[in-house]
Each structure stands twice: as C-alpha cells, then as structure tokens.
Amino acid sequence: MTDEQTHKFVQTSALALGLPADEARVARVAAHFKRTEVMAQLLDQVDCPVDLEIAEIYCPKPIES
C-alpha cells in the first residue's frame, strides 16, 4: 500500500466504525499501520515448516465459585 492508500484506508475505516478521524489522529494511526505492515512482511519471509503448530488462542480458566 502506498502512503496515500494507507491514509485513505484509515480515514474510511474510522468513518465506517464511527471513530474520531481528525487529520492528526489519522496520520498517527496510518504510521502505526505502516510499521505493522513492515513487521508482517518480515514475518512472511521466514521459512517455517508447513506442519509448524500455530499458537493456541488464550482461553482463561473459568473462575469456580
């Protein structure tokens, strides 16, 4: 995604979710989104075996009363 596309994506998503979307906030969220995109690309380059077990989803133990 280009910087412009990321900015538009953040604006559109905020509008759809009813979140505040002032220019400063959109710029900050877009910057975080771009950093996350870079991290995801790095992880995508790691050569993992197909049978690698994925992490289990956290499910807290019920509190007994």
Q: Is 64 helix (H, G, I), strand (E, B) or coil?
A: coil
pLDDT for residue 23: 96
22-51 pLDDT, tens digit each: 999 999 999 999 999 999 999 888 888 877
Q: Are 34 and 3 in contact (CB under 8 A)?
A: yes
Is the model's pLDDT at 54 over the cut of 80?
no
Please give the mean pLDDT across all residues of the chain: 91
Predicted confidence band of residue 60 (pLDDT cuts 50, 70, 90)? confident
Token output for 58: 């956290």
Handedness of CA 10, 14, 19, 21 (dihedral sign): positive
pLDDT for residue 26: 97
pTM: 0.67
Domain segments of the chain as ranges: 3-44
